[in-house]
Protein backbone atom coordinates (compact mmCIF):
# COMPACT_ATOMS: atom_id res chain seq x y z
CA UNK A 1 0.00 0.00 0.00
CA UNK A 2 1.18 3.55 -0.66
CA UNK A 3 1.33 5.94 2.28
CA UNK A 4 1.75 9.69 2.44
CA UNK A 5 3.41 9.25 5.85
CA UNK A 6 4.62 6.13 7.61
CA UNK A 7 5.49 6.23 11.33
CA UNK A 8 7.77 3.27 12.04
CA UNK A 9 8.79 1.43 15.22
CA UNK A 10 6.80 3.53 17.69
CA UNK A 11 5.15 2.58 20.95
CA UNK A 12 1.47 3.21 20.30
CA UNK A 13 -0.80 4.41 23.10
CA UNK A 14 -4.05 4.49 21.19
CA UNK A 15 -6.28 6.74 23.34
CA UNK A 16 -8.71 4.03 24.49
CA UNK A 17 -6.90 3.21 27.73
CA UNK A 18 -5.70 -0.12 26.33
CA UNK A 19 -2.10 -1.25 27.00
CA UNK A 20 0.62 0.24 24.80
CA UNK A 21 2.03 -1.85 21.96
CA UNK A 22 4.72 -1.67 19.28
CA UNK A 23 3.43 -0.83 15.82
CA UNK A 24 3.80 1.20 12.66
CA UNK A 25 1.13 3.72 11.65
CA UNK A 26 0.35 4.27 7.97
CA UNK A 27 -1.31 7.52 6.88
CA UNK A 28 -2.90 8.56 3.59
CA UNK A 29 -5.18 11.45 2.64
CA UNK A 30 -5.09 12.84 6.17
CA UNK A 31 -6.36 9.64 7.80
CA UNK A 32 -4.86 6.63 9.53
CA UNK A 33 -5.30 3.74 7.11
CA UNK A 34 -3.31 0.96 8.77
CA UNK A 35 -1.81 0.15 12.18
CA UNK A 36 0.42 -2.89 12.66
CA UNK A 37 3.92 -4.29 12.82
CA UNK A 38 6.17 -4.18 9.80
CA UNK A 39 3.87 -2.25 7.50
CA UNK A 40 5.06 -2.60 3.93
CA UNK A 41 4.58 -0.23 1.06
CA UNK A 42 5.90 2.96 -0.44
CA UNK A 43 5.74 6.10 1.65
CA UNK A 44 6.30 9.70 0.65
CA UNK A 45 7.83 10.30 4.07
CA UNK A 46 8.95 8.00 6.89
CA UNK A 47 9.34 8.99 10.55
CA UNK A 48 11.38 6.67 12.75
CA UNK A 49 9.63 6.69 16.14
CA UNK A 50 11.96 4.19 17.82
CA UNK A 51 11.95 4.73 21.60
CA UNK A 52 9.13 7.27 21.24
CA UNK A 53 5.45 7.25 22.22
CA UNK A 54 2.93 7.61 19.40
CA UNK A 55 -0.39 8.89 20.71
CA UNK A 56 -3.44 10.67 19.36
CA UNK A 57 -3.09 14.43 19.28
CA UNK A 58 -4.47 16.04 22.42
CA UNK A 59 -7.88 17.76 22.43
CA UNK A 60 -8.07 20.90 24.60
CA UNK A 61 -11.68 21.67 25.62
CA UNK A 62 -11.09 25.08 27.21
CA UNK A 63 -9.26 27.82 25.29
CA UNK A 64 -9.71 31.49 24.38
CA UNK A 65 -7.81 31.81 21.09
CA UNK A 66 -10.77 33.66 19.52
CA UNK A 67 -8.66 36.73 18.71
CA UNK A 68 -5.23 35.11 18.50
CA UNK A 69 -6.12 33.02 15.46
CA UNK A 70 -6.14 36.30 13.51
CA UNK A 71 -2.35 36.66 13.90
CA UNK A 72 -0.98 33.31 15.06
CA UNK A 73 -1.57 30.40 12.65
CA UNK A 74 0.40 28.08 14.97
CA UNK A 75 -2.11 28.63 17.82
CA UNK A 76 0.63 28.71 20.42
CA UNK A 77 1.31 27.61 23.12
CA UNK A 78 -1.14 24.72 22.62
CA UNK A 79 0.30 23.37 19.38
CA UNK A 80 3.81 23.18 20.86
CA UNK A 81 2.50 20.80 23.50
CA UNK A 82 0.95 18.17 21.25
CA UNK A 83 -2.55 19.68 21.11
CA UNK A 84 -4.06 19.13 17.68
CA UNK A 85 -7.62 20.37 18.37
CA UNK A 86 -8.72 23.33 20.50
CA UNK A 87 -12.19 24.43 21.54
CA UNK A 88 -12.54 28.24 21.41
CA UNK A 89 -15.26 30.57 22.66
CA UNK A 90 -15.44 29.43 26.27
CA UNK A 91 -16.90 31.36 29.22
CA UNK A 92 -19.28 33.50 27.17
CA UNK A 93 -16.70 35.94 25.79
CA UNK A 94 -15.68 36.39 22.15
CA UNK A 95 -15.59 38.61 19.09
CA UNK A 96 -18.40 37.24 16.92
CA UNK A 97 -21.02 38.03 15.94
CA UNK A 98 -20.13 41.71 15.73
CA UNK A 99 -21.69 44.49 13.70
CA UNK A 100 -19.34 46.52 11.53
CA UNK A 101 -19.68 49.85 13.32
CA UNK A 102 -16.70 51.06 15.41
CA UNK A 103 -18.67 51.09 18.67
CA UNK A 104 -19.61 47.40 18.42
CA UNK A 105 -16.03 46.43 17.64
CA UNK A 106 -14.77 48.60 20.48
CA UNK A 107 -17.02 46.83 23.00
CA UNK A 108 -15.92 43.40 21.78
CA UNK A 109 -12.24 44.34 21.91
CA UNK A 110 -12.40 45.83 25.39
CA UNK A 111 -14.12 42.70 26.69
CA UNK A 112 -10.93 40.87 25.68
CA UNK A 113 -8.70 43.52 27.21
CA UNK A 114 -10.35 43.38 30.61
CA UNK A 115 -11.11 39.68 30.77
CA UNK A 116 -8.23 38.14 28.83
CA UNK A 117 -5.49 40.77 29.32
CA UNK A 118 -4.82 41.17 25.60
CA UNK A 119 -3.35 44.66 25.04
CA UNK A 120 -5.73 46.95 23.18
CA UNK A 121 -2.85 47.96 20.86
CA UNK A 122 -2.55 44.31 19.77
CA UNK A 123 -6.27 43.99 19.08
CA UNK A 124 -6.45 47.26 17.13
CA UNK A 125 -3.49 46.23 14.99
CA UNK A 126 -4.21 42.55 14.42
CA UNK A 127 -7.95 41.80 14.52
CA UNK A 128 -8.97 41.23 10.90
CA UNK A 129 -12.72 41.80 11.37
CA UNK A 130 -13.44 39.80 8.20
CA UNK A 131 -16.81 38.67 9.55
CA UNK A 132 -20.08 39.95 10.95
CA UNK A 133 -22.08 36.82 11.76
CA UNK A 134 -20.66 33.86 13.66
CA UNK A 135 -20.82 31.48 10.68
CA UNK A 136 -18.81 34.09 8.73
CA UNK A 137 -16.29 34.15 11.61
CA UNK A 138 -15.82 30.37 11.36
CA UNK A 139 -15.49 30.58 7.59
CA UNK A 140 -12.87 33.34 7.92
CA UNK A 141 -10.85 31.14 10.26
CA UNK A 142 -10.90 28.34 7.70
CA UNK A 143 -9.73 30.71 4.95
CA UNK A 144 -6.81 32.07 6.99
CA UNK A 145 -5.59 28.58 7.88
CA UNK A 146 -4.10 27.22 11.10
CA UNK A 147 -1.59 24.58 12.09
CA UNK A 148 -4.15 22.75 14.23
CA UNK A 149 -7.89 22.11 14.20
CA UNK A 150 -10.36 24.65 15.55
CA UNK A 151 -13.74 23.93 17.12
CA UNK A 152 -15.94 26.84 18.18
CA UNK A 153 -18.45 27.52 20.91
CA UNK A 154 -20.81 30.44 20.40
CA UNK A 155 -20.07 32.83 23.31
CA UNK A 156 -23.27 34.38 24.60
CA UNK A 157 -21.91 37.89 25.28
CA UNK A 158 -21.46 39.04 21.65
CA UNK A 159 -24.82 37.50 20.69
CA UNK A 160 -26.53 39.64 23.33
CA UNK A 161 -24.61 42.72 22.08
CA UNK A 162 -25.62 41.93 18.51
CA UNK A 163 -29.34 41.87 19.35
CA UNK A 164 -29.63 44.26 22.30
CA UNK A 165 -26.91 46.84 21.67
CA UNK A 166 -25.80 48.83 24.76
CA UNK A 167 -28.73 47.44 26.76
CA UNK A 168 -26.92 44.08 26.84
CA UNK A 169 -24.63 45.61 29.47
CA UNK A 170 -27.51 46.80 31.63
CA UNK A 171 -30.29 44.23 31.88
CA UNK A 172 -31.81 40.86 31.03
CA UNK A 173 -33.29 40.38 27.57
CA UNK A 174 -36.97 40.82 26.93
CA UNK A 175 -38.99 37.88 25.65
CA UNK A 176 -38.72 39.24 22.10
CA UNK A 177 -34.97 39.79 22.37
CA UNK A 178 -34.52 36.33 23.86
CA UNK A 179 -36.21 34.75 20.86
CA UNK A 180 -33.96 36.69 18.48
CA UNK A 181 -30.83 35.62 20.37
CA UNK A 182 -32.08 32.03 20.47
CA UNK A 183 -32.63 32.07 16.71
CA UNK A 184 -29.09 33.35 16.11
CA UNK A 185 -27.63 30.68 18.41
CA UNK A 186 -29.61 27.96 16.64
CA UNK A 187 -28.44 29.22 13.26
CA UNK A 188 -24.84 29.25 14.51
CA UNK A 189 -24.93 25.71 15.93
CA UNK A 190 -26.68 24.49 12.79
CA UNK A 191 -23.77 26.03 10.82
CA UNK A 192 -21.22 24.07 12.86
CA UNK A 193 -20.58 25.69 16.23
CA UNK A 194 -20.22 23.10 18.99
CA UNK A 195 -22.79 24.77 21.23
CA UNK A 196 -22.81 27.92 23.32
CA UNK A 197 -20.99 29.21 26.40
CA UNK A 198 -21.67 31.61 29.24
CA UNK A 199 -20.58 32.65 32.72
CA UNK A 200 -22.30 33.83 35.88
CA UNK A 201 -19.14 34.69 37.85
CA UNK A 202 -18.75 38.15 39.34
CA UNK A 203 -15.08 38.44 38.40
CA UNK A 204 -15.85 38.32 34.69
CA UNK A 205 -15.81 41.97 33.69
CA UNK A 206 -15.45 43.54 30.28
CA UNK A 207 -16.08 46.83 28.50
CA UNK A 208 -15.72 49.86 30.82
CA UNK A 209 -15.27 47.54 33.78
CA UNK A 210 -18.89 46.39 33.57
CA UNK A 211 -20.04 42.77 33.87
CA UNK A 212 -19.67 41.04 30.53
CA UNK A 213 -23.08 40.94 28.91
CA UNK A 214 -23.85 37.24 29.35
CA UNK A 215 -23.69 37.67 33.13
CA UNK A 216 -26.92 39.67 32.92
CA UNK A 217 -28.82 36.88 31.18
CA UNK A 218 -31.70 35.64 33.31
CA UNK A 219 -32.39 31.98 33.97
CA UNK A 220 -35.40 32.31 31.67
CA UNK A 221 -33.06 33.44 28.91
CA UNK A 222 -30.56 30.65 29.51
CA UNK A 223 -33.35 28.10 29.60
CA UNK A 224 -34.61 29.31 26.22
CA UNK A 225 -31.14 28.97 24.69
CA UNK A 226 -30.84 25.47 26.16
CA UNK A 227 -34.20 24.65 24.55
CA UNK A 228 -32.66 25.62 21.22
CA UNK A 229 -30.00 22.92 21.50
CA UNK A 230 -32.59 20.32 22.46
CA UNK A 231 -34.65 21.27 19.43
CA UNK A 232 -31.63 20.96 17.16
CA UNK A 233 -30.53 17.69 18.75
CA UNK A 234 -26.88 18.71 18.84
CA UNK A 235 -24.39 20.95 20.61
CA UNK A 236 -23.09 21.34 24.15
CA UNK A 237 -23.19 24.06 26.80
CA UNK A 238 -20.08 25.33 28.57
CA UNK A 239 -20.55 27.50 31.64
CA UNK A 240 -18.27 29.13 34.17
CA UNK A 241 -20.56 28.26 37.03
CA UNK A 242 -18.96 28.32 40.47
CA UNK A 243 -18.13 31.69 41.96
CA UNK A 244 -15.88 30.10 44.60
CA UNK A 245 -14.12 26.99 43.26
CA UNK A 246 -14.43 24.12 45.68
CA UNK A 247 -18.01 25.06 46.58
CA UNK A 248 -21.38 25.17 44.89
CA UNK A 249 -24.23 27.38 46.06
CA UNK A 250 -27.84 26.34 45.83
CA UNK A 251 -28.51 28.86 43.04
CA UNK A 252 -25.54 27.52 41.05
CA UNK A 253 -26.83 23.98 41.49
CA UNK A 254 -30.33 24.98 40.39
CA UNK A 255 -28.98 26.67 37.25
CA UNK A 256 -26.94 23.59 36.34
CA UNK A 257 -30.01 21.39 36.86
CA UNK A 258 -32.11 23.76 34.73
CA UNK A 259 -29.63 23.61 31.85
CA UNK A 260 -29.45 19.81 32.03
CA UNK A 261 -33.24 19.48 32.03
CA UNK A 262 -33.93 22.05 29.32
CA UNK A 263 -31.13 21.14 26.89
CA UNK A 264 -30.90 17.33 27.16
CA UNK A 265 -27.36 17.93 25.88
CA UNK A 266 -23.89 17.51 27.41
CA UNK A 267 -22.75 20.34 29.65
CA UNK A 268 -19.23 21.05 30.82
CA UNK A 269 -18.72 23.46 33.67
CA UNK A 270 -15.91 24.98 35.66
CA UNK A 271 -14.76 24.14 38.03
CA UNK A 272 -14.13 21.73 40.86
CA UNK A 273 -11.02 22.31 42.97
CA UNK A 274 -9.94 21.15 46.39
CA UNK A 275 -9.21 24.15 48.55
CA UNK A 276 -6.49 24.32 51.15
CA UNK A 277 -8.81 25.89 53.72
CA UNK A 278 -11.64 23.37 53.08
CA UNK A 279 -10.05 20.16 51.73
CA UNK A 280 -13.37 18.30 52.00
CA UNK A 281 -15.36 20.65 49.80
CA UNK A 282 -14.25 19.63 46.30
CA UNK A 283 -15.37 16.05 46.81
CA UNK A 284 -18.59 17.29 48.41
CA UNK A 285 -19.39 19.14 45.19
CA UNK A 286 -18.82 16.02 43.10
CA UNK A 287 -21.07 14.03 45.37
CA UNK A 288 -23.78 16.72 45.29
CA UNK A 289 -23.94 16.75 41.49
CA UNK A 290 -23.19 13.08 40.87
CA UNK A 291 -26.67 12.40 39.47
CA UNK A 292 -26.28 15.37 37.09
CA UNK A 293 -22.82 14.15 36.02
CA UNK A 294 -24.48 10.87 35.05
CA UNK A 295 -26.64 12.97 32.76
CA UNK A 296 -23.42 14.41 31.24
CA UNK A 297 -23.02 17.62 33.26
CA UNK A 298 -19.26 17.16 33.38
CA UNK A 299 -17.04 19.30 35.65
CA UNK A 300 -13.63 20.43 34.43
CA UNK A 301 -10.57 20.06 36.63
CA UNK A 302 -6.91 20.93 36.27
CA UNK A 303 -3.70 18.95 36.64
CA UNK A 304 -1.58 22.03 37.41
CA UNK A 305 -1.31 24.21 40.50
CA UNK A 306 -2.83 27.59 39.68
CA UNK A 307 -0.06 30.21 39.58
CA UNK A 308 -1.26 33.73 38.77
CA UNK A 309 0.98 36.70 37.96
CA UNK A 310 -0.34 39.85 39.60
CA UNK A 311 0.40 43.44 38.74
CA UNK A 312 -1.54 46.30 40.28
CA UNK A 313 -2.25 48.01 36.96
CA UNK A 314 -4.32 45.07 35.64
CA UNK A 315 -5.06 43.14 38.85
CA UNK A 316 -6.88 40.03 37.63
CA UNK A 317 -6.98 38.60 41.14
CA UNK A 318 -8.95 41.62 42.35
CA UNK A 319 -11.58 41.40 39.58
CA UNK A 320 -14.23 39.75 41.76
CA UNK A 321 -13.90 42.31 44.56
CA UNK A 322 -16.51 45.07 44.90
CA UNK A 323 -13.77 47.73 44.81
CA UNK A 324 -12.47 46.56 41.41
CA UNK A 325 -14.62 49.08 39.52
CA UNK A 326 -12.47 51.87 40.92
CA UNK A 327 -9.34 50.24 39.47
CA UNK A 328 -10.18 48.95 36.00
CA UNK A 329 -9.85 51.12 32.91
CA UNK A 330 -8.22 54.00 34.76
CA UNK A 331 -4.82 55.62 34.08
CA UNK A 332 -1.84 54.51 36.16
CA UNK A 333 -1.59 57.84 38.00
CA UNK A 334 -5.22 57.59 39.10
CA UNK A 335 -4.70 54.00 40.22
CA UNK A 336 -1.61 55.03 42.21
CA UNK A 337 -3.65 57.71 43.94
CA UNK A 338 -6.19 55.09 44.95
CA UNK A 339 -3.58 52.64 46.24
CA UNK A 340 -2.03 55.42 48.33
CA UNK A 341 -5.41 56.32 49.85
CA UNK A 342 -5.58 54.70 53.34
CA UNK A 343 -9.34 54.31 53.08
CA UNK A 344 -9.16 52.47 49.75
CA UNK A 345 -6.26 50.33 50.92
CA UNK A 346 -8.20 49.38 54.04
CA UNK A 347 -11.21 48.45 51.89
CA UNK A 348 -9.01 46.33 49.62
CA UNK A 349 -7.48 44.55 52.60
CA UNK A 350 -10.92 43.89 54.07
CA UNK A 351 -12.36 42.54 50.82
CA UNK A 352 -9.38 40.26 50.19
CA UNK A 353 -9.64 38.96 53.73
CA UNK A 354 -13.34 38.26 53.30
CA UNK A 355 -12.68 35.90 50.38
CA UNK A 356 -11.44 32.51 51.68
CA UNK A 357 -9.19 31.85 48.67
CA UNK A 358 -7.65 35.33 48.71
CA UNK A 359 -7.25 35.18 52.48
CA UNK A 360 -5.14 32.02 52.24
CA UNK A 361 -3.03 33.36 49.35
CA UNK A 362 -2.33 36.92 50.52
CA UNK A 363 -2.45 36.64 54.29
CA UNK A 364 -1.82 32.97 55.00
CA UNK A 365 1.28 32.34 52.88
CA UNK A 366 3.16 35.54 51.97
CA UNK A 367 6.31 33.38 51.96
CA UNK A 368 4.94 31.63 48.84
CA UNK A 369 4.28 34.83 46.86
CA UNK A 370 7.30 35.46 44.63
CA UNK A 371 8.40 38.89 43.42
CA UNK A 372 8.98 38.26 39.72
CA UNK A 373 10.04 41.78 38.77
CA UNK A 374 10.61 44.94 40.80
CA UNK A 375 12.22 47.89 39.03
CA UNK A 376 12.02 49.99 42.19
CA UNK A 377 14.26 47.52 44.06
CA UNK A 378 15.81 44.88 41.75
CA UNK A 379 17.46 43.17 44.73
CA UNK A 380 14.01 41.85 45.66
CA UNK A 381 13.50 40.03 42.36
CA UNK A 382 13.12 36.33 43.07
CA UNK A 383 12.50 36.92 46.78
CA UNK A 384 9.27 36.16 48.58
CA UNK A 385 6.84 38.83 49.66
CA UNK A 386 7.46 37.79 53.26
CA UNK A 387 11.21 38.34 52.86
CA UNK A 388 10.67 41.75 51.26
CA UNK A 389 8.36 42.74 54.12
CA UNK A 390 10.97 41.71 56.68
CA UNK A 391 13.62 43.79 54.94
CA UNK A 392 11.31 46.80 54.83
CA UNK A 393 9.98 46.14 58.34
CA UNK A 394 6.45 46.25 57.02
CA UNK A 395 3.29 44.24 57.03
CA UNK A 396 3.37 41.94 53.92
CA UNK A 397 0.12 43.39 52.57
CA UNK A 398 1.51 46.95 52.77
CA UNK A 399 4.65 45.75 50.99
CA UNK A 400 2.49 44.14 48.30
CA UNK A 401 0.87 47.51 47.60
CA UNK A 402 3.79 49.87 48.12
CA UNK A 403 6.49 48.20 46.02
CA UNK A 404 4.60 48.85 42.76
CA UNK A 405 4.06 52.49 43.72
CA UNK A 406 7.77 53.02 43.12
CA UNK A 407 7.78 51.84 39.50
CA UNK A 408 4.42 52.96 38.06
CA UNK A 409 2.74 49.66 39.00
CA UNK A 410 5.15 47.53 36.95
CA UNK A 411 6.13 45.27 39.84
CA UNK A 412 4.90 41.72 39.23
CA UNK A 413 4.16 38.96 41.73
CA UNK A 414 3.60 35.24 41.25
CA UNK A 415 0.71 34.33 43.51
CA UNK A 416 -0.10 30.64 44.11
CA UNK A 417 -3.79 29.76 44.31
CA UNK A 418 -4.73 26.15 44.99
CA UNK A 419 -0.98 25.62 45.02
CA UNK A 420 -0.94 22.31 46.84
CA UNK A 421 -0.23 19.59 44.30
CA UNK A 422 -1.04 16.74 46.66
CA UNK A 423 -4.80 16.96 46.10
CA UNK A 424 -4.78 17.37 42.31
CA UNK A 425 -4.64 13.61 41.51
CA UNK A 426 -7.83 13.04 43.50
CA UNK A 427 -9.75 15.05 40.91
CA UNK A 428 -7.92 14.33 37.65
CA UNK A 429 -8.05 10.59 38.36
CA UNK A 430 -11.80 10.72 38.94
CA UNK A 431 -13.53 9.48 35.76
CA UNK A 432 -16.47 11.82 36.44
CA UNK A 433 -14.29 14.83 35.57
CA UNK A 434 -12.80 16.29 32.40
CA UNK A 435 -9.22 17.57 32.43
CA UNK A 436 -9.06 21.07 30.98
CA UNK A 437 -9.03 24.69 32.20
CA UNK A 438 -5.98 25.58 30.09
CA UNK A 439 -7.35 29.04 29.18
CA UNK A 440 -4.90 29.25 26.25
CA UNK A 441 -5.10 32.68 24.64
CA UNK A 442 -6.41 34.39 27.79
CA UNK A 443 -4.83 36.21 30.75
CA UNK A 444 -1.75 36.72 28.59
CA UNK A 445 0.46 38.36 31.21
CA UNK A 446 -0.98 36.55 34.23
CA UNK A 447 -1.61 32.83 33.66
CA UNK A 448 -0.32 30.27 31.17
CA UNK A 449 -1.58 26.71 31.65
CA UNK A 450 -1.59 25.81 27.94
CA UNK A 451 1.14 23.24 28.59
CA UNK A 452 -1.07 21.15 30.87
CA UNK A 453 -0.95 18.06 28.62
CA UNK A 454 2.82 17.71 28.67
CA UNK A 455 2.87 18.71 32.35
CA UNK A 456 0.47 15.86 33.13
CA UNK A 457 2.67 13.40 31.27
CA UNK A 458 5.93 14.62 32.78
CA UNK A 459 4.97 15.52 36.32
CA UNK A 460 2.16 13.13 37.13
CA UNK A 461 2.79 10.10 34.93
CA UNK A 462 6.57 9.88 34.72
CA UNK A 463 7.74 11.53 37.96
CA UNK A 464 4.94 10.96 40.45
CA UNK A 465 3.36 7.86 38.86
CA UNK A 466 -0.04 9.18 39.92
CA UNK A 467 -1.73 7.61 36.89
CA UNK A 468 -0.74 5.32 34.04
CA UNK A 469 0.37 6.62 30.68
CA UNK A 470 -2.53 4.84 29.02
CA UNK A 471 -5.14 6.44 31.28
CA UNK A 472 -3.52 9.88 30.95
CA UNK A 473 -3.57 9.70 27.16
CA UNK A 474 -7.22 8.60 27.21
CA UNK A 475 -8.08 11.57 29.42
CA UNK A 476 -6.35 13.98 27.01
CA UNK A 477 -7.69 12.55 23.75
CA UNK A 478 -10.72 10.30 23.37
CA UNK A 479 -12.58 11.73 26.39
CA UNK A 480 -12.69 15.39 25.25
CA UNK A 481 -13.23 14.22 21.66
CA UNK A 482 -16.29 12.27 22.81
CA UNK A 483 -17.68 15.34 24.60
CA UNK A 484 -17.55 17.24 21.30
CA UNK A 485 -18.92 14.28 19.33
CA UNK A 486 -15.70 14.07 17.29
CA UNK A 487 -15.99 10.38 16.59
CA UNK A 488 -13.11 10.32 14.11
CA UNK A 489 -10.53 11.93 16.41
CA UNK A 490 -8.84 11.10 19.68
CA UNK A 491 -7.69 7.57 18.78
CA UNK A 492 -4.97 5.76 16.85
CA UNK A 493 -7.04 3.46 14.66
CA UNK A 494 -7.86 2.99 10.98
CA UNK A 495 -10.31 5.56 9.54
CA UNK A 496 -9.50 8.08 12.29
CA UNK A 497 -8.03 11.47 11.41
CA UNK A 498 -4.23 11.44 11.51
CA UNK A 499 -3.85 13.86 14.43
CA UNK A 500 -0.82 12.49 16.26
CA UNK A 501 1.63 13.49 19.01
CA UNK A 502 4.99 11.75 19.07
CA UNK A 503 7.07 12.33 22.19
CA UNK A 504 9.98 11.10 24.28
CA UNK A 505 8.43 9.82 27.50
CA UNK A 506 11.71 10.31 29.37
CA UNK A 507 11.74 14.04 28.54
CA UNK A 508 8.16 15.20 27.95
CA UNK A 509 7.18 18.11 30.21
CA UNK A 510 6.26 21.79 30.43
CA UNK A 511 7.37 24.35 33.03
CA UNK A 512 5.36 24.81 36.22
CA UNK A 513 5.07 28.53 35.47
CA UNK A 514 4.95 30.44 32.22
CA UNK A 515 7.88 32.05 30.41
CA UNK A 516 7.72 35.58 28.98
CA UNK A 517 8.19 36.19 25.26
CA UNK A 518 7.71 39.45 23.37
CA UNK A 519 6.06 37.83 20.35
CA UNK A 520 2.66 39.52 20.20
CA UNK A 521 1.99 41.96 17.35
CA UNK A 522 3.94 45.17 17.99
CA UNK A 523 6.39 43.35 20.24
CA UNK A 524 4.06 43.15 23.25
CA UNK A 525 4.85 40.34 25.61
CA UNK A 526 2.92 37.39 26.97
CA UNK A 527 3.42 34.26 29.04
CA UNK A 528 3.97 31.07 27.05
CA UNK A 529 4.37 27.38 27.90
CA UNK A 530 7.29 25.82 26.00
CA UNK A 531 7.19 22.06 25.49
CA UNK A 532 9.93 19.58 26.25
CA UNK A 533 10.34 16.18 24.63
CA UNK A 534 7.74 16.69 21.88
CA UNK A 535 9.33 15.19 18.76
CA UNK A 536 6.48 15.64 16.26
CA UNK A 537 3.01 17.16 16.17
CA UNK A 538 1.03 15.89 13.18
CA UNK A 539 -2.33 17.32 12.11
CA UNK A 540 -4.48 15.65 9.45
CA UNK A 541 -1.42 13.68 8.37
CA UNK A 542 0.90 16.70 8.04
CA UNK A 543 3.77 17.42 10.48
CA UNK A 544 3.37 20.94 11.86
CA UNK A 545 6.08 20.78 14.53
CA UNK A 546 9.30 18.81 14.49
CA UNK A 547 11.54 19.00 17.57
CA UNK A 548 9.87 22.26 18.61
CA UNK A 549 10.38 23.86 15.18
CA UNK A 550 7.33 24.98 13.21
CA UNK A 551 7.21 23.56 9.70
CA UNK A 552 5.04 26.37 8.35
CA UNK A 553 2.20 24.01 7.42
CA UNK A 554 -1.46 24.94 8.04
CA UNK A 555 -3.40 21.67 7.66
CA UNK A 556 -5.82 22.47 10.50
CA UNK A 557 -9.52 22.60 9.71
CA UNK A 558 -12.58 24.10 11.35
CA UNK A 559 -14.42 21.16 12.88
CA UNK A 560 -18.20 21.43 12.65
CA UNK A 561 -20.77 20.07 15.09
CA UNK A 562 -22.58 16.86 14.25
Q: Does some domain include residue 22?
A: no
Domain that holds residue 192: 58-305+419-517
Q: Tell me whether strands 297-301 and 306-310 are parallel, antiparallel or unpaired.
A: unpaired
Do residues 331 and 351 both lie within one domain? Answer: yes
Please give the Cα distance from 293 to 287 (Å, whole number).
10
Do residues 208 and 101 both lie within one domain? Answer: yes
Q: What is the pLDDT of residues 127-146, one digit of tens each?
A: 999 999 999 999 999 999 99
Q: Does some domain include residue 363?
A: yes
- Indicate whether 535 pLDDT > 60: yes
Residues 6+ apart with CB under 8 A from 119: 113, 444, 520, 522, 524
Q: What is the pLDDT of residue 420?
A: 67
| Most confident of the ranges 30-34, 112-116, 205-209, 276-280 | 30-34
Do residues 192 and 326 both lie within one domain? Answer: no
C-alpha torsion sign, points 122, 126, 132, 137: negative
Do residues 257 and 396 both lie within one domain? Answer: no
Model confidence band, residue 350 (pLDDT cutoffs 50, 70, 90)? very high
Q: What is the mean pLDDT of residues 317-342?
A: 88
Q: How many domains does the chain have?
A: 2
Mean pLDDT taken over the chain: 95
Please give the Cα distance from 242 to 332 (Å, whole number).
32
Query: How many Cα atoms within 13 Å fall on the side-chain side of residue 75?
Result: 35
- Indicate whether 153 pLDDT > 80: yes
Last residue of a domain, one of 415, 446, 473: 415
Do residues 238 and 194 both lie within one domain? Answer: yes
Q: What is the pLDDT of residue 285?
A: 92
Q: What is the mean pLDDT of residues 289-315?
A: 94
Q: Does some domain include residue 167?
A: yes
What one-character-per-residue DSSP string does 307-376 give? EEEE-SSS-GGGTTSGGGGGTTT--HHHHHHHHH-HHHHHHHHHHHHHSHHHIIIIII-GGG-EEEE-TT
Please give the Cα distance from 396 to 351 (Å, whole number).
16
Q: What is the pLDDT of residue 326?
A: 83
Last residue of a domain, one of 381, 415, 449: 415
Do residues 373 and 424 both lie within one domain? Answer: no
Do residues 244 and 297 both lie within one domain? Answer: yes
Last residue of a domain, one of 387, 415, 443: 415
Determine what percent of the chain is predicted with pLDDT higher than 70: 98
Q: What is the pLDDT of residues 537-558, one digit of tens each?
A: 999 999 999 999 999 999 999 9
Do residues 423 and 411 both lie within one domain? Answer: no
**Residue 105, exposed/middle/buried by CB under 10 A (0-12, 13-18, 19+)?**
middle
| Lowest mean pLDDT segment, chosen from 261-270, 280-289, 501-510 | 280-289
Could you tell me the CATH number of the domain that includes residue 104? 3.20.20.140
Q: What is the pLDDT of residue 226?
A: 98
Q: What is the mean pLDDT of residues 73-96?
A: 98
Q: Does some domain include residue 551?
A: no
Model confidence band, residue 426 (pLDDT cutoffs 50, 70, 90)? very high
Q: Which residues of 437-455 are buried (b: 16+ CB within 10 A; e: fewer)?
A: bbbbbbbbbbbbbbbbbbb
Q: Does some domain include residue 118?
A: yes
Q: Does some domain include residue 92?
A: yes
- Indicate whether 404 pLDDT > 90: yes
| Lowest mean pLDDT segment, chosen from 120-124, 160-164, 263-267, 365-369 | 365-369
Q: What is the pLDDT of residue 242?
A: 93
Do residues 322 and 271 both lie within one domain? Answer: no
Please give the Cα distance from 277 to 246 (Å, whole number).
10
| CA-wise closest residue to 362 among 402, 412, 331, 398 | 398
Q: What is the mean pLDDT of residues 395-403?
A: 96
Please give the Cα distance from 270 to 251 (Å, whole number).
15
Do residues 154 and 275 both lie within one domain? Answer: yes
- Indicate whether 419 pLDDT > 70: no
Q: What is the pLDDT of residue 445?
A: 87
Do residues 315 and 183 both lie within one domain? Answer: no
Q: What is the pLDDT of residue 282?
A: 75
| Lowest mean pLDDT segment, chosen from 412-416, 492-496, 500-504, 553-557 | 412-416
CB 71 within 8 A of CB 42: no
- Indicate whether 277 pLDDT > 70: no
**Residue 400, exposed/middle/buried by CB under 10 A (0-12, 13-18, 19+)?**
buried
Do residues 187 and 271 both lie within one domain? Answer: yes
Q: What is the mean pLDDT of residues 195-223?
A: 95
- Indicate whether 394 pLDDT > 70: yes
Q: Does some domain include residue 378?
A: yes
Please give the Cα distance from 546 to 544 (Å, whole number).
7
| CA-wise closest residue to 217 among 177, 268, 248 | 177
Residues 6+ apart with CB under 8 A from 553: 147, 539, 542, 543, 544
| CA-wise closest residue to 541 among 51, 29, 112 | 29
Q: Does some domain include residue 507?
A: yes
Amino acid sequence: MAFDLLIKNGTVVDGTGSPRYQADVGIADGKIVEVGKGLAGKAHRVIDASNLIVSPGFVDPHTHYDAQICWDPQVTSSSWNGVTTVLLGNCGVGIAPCKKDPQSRDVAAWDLVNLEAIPIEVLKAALTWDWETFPQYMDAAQRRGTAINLAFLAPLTPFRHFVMGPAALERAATAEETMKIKALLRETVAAGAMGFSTTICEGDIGYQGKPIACRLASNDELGAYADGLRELGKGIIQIRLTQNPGTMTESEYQLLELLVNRSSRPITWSSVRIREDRPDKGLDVLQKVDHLIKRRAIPQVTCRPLMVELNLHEPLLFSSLPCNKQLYNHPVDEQIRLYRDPQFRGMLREQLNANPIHRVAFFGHPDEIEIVECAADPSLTGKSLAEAARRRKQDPFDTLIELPLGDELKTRYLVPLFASEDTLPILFNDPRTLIGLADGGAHLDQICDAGYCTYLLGKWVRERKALTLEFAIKRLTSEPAALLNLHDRGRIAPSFAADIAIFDFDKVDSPRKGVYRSDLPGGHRRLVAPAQGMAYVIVNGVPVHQNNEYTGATPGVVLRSR
